[in-house]
Amino acid sequence: MAARPPQNETSEPEVIAFGIAALAARLETADISYPATSREICAAVSNTEIPVDSTGNTVELATALDRLPQDEFAKQSELLDMLHPVFEEQRKQAATSVVGRLRALLPI
């Protein structure tokens, strides 16, 4: 048996960002000045459906922000630090759901 030789493709593989990394990338291109409220943040982010894992599970930014104990954030790092456990919990819930387990089994 022989293996096919590697293709001479020089392009980088596509990177899938999810959770805090995906939100941070969207916030970098959004027109937000801090301090900012949850409503201002949602209005500034063009796509508010944030992926929470590599299998395509998402959470709405407004839903994640509603789970936080405060509505105003002094700076972006404070916002991301507070949202991190929310995204982690959402990722864990998605992984234990029936649909999440099926997605993990299927090569998509």
Between the alpha carbon of residue 47 and those of residues 1, 2, 43, the distances in Å are 48, 46, 10
pTM score, whole prediction? 0.72
* pLDDT at site 74: 97
Distance CA 70, CA 86 (A): 13
Spatial contact of 41 and 61, defined as CB atoms under 8 Å apart: yes
pLDDT in tens, the chain (108 residues): 445 555 665 565 566 788 999 999 999 999 999 999 999 999 999 889 999 888 888 999 999 999 999 999 999 999 999 999 999 999 888 766 555 556 556 665
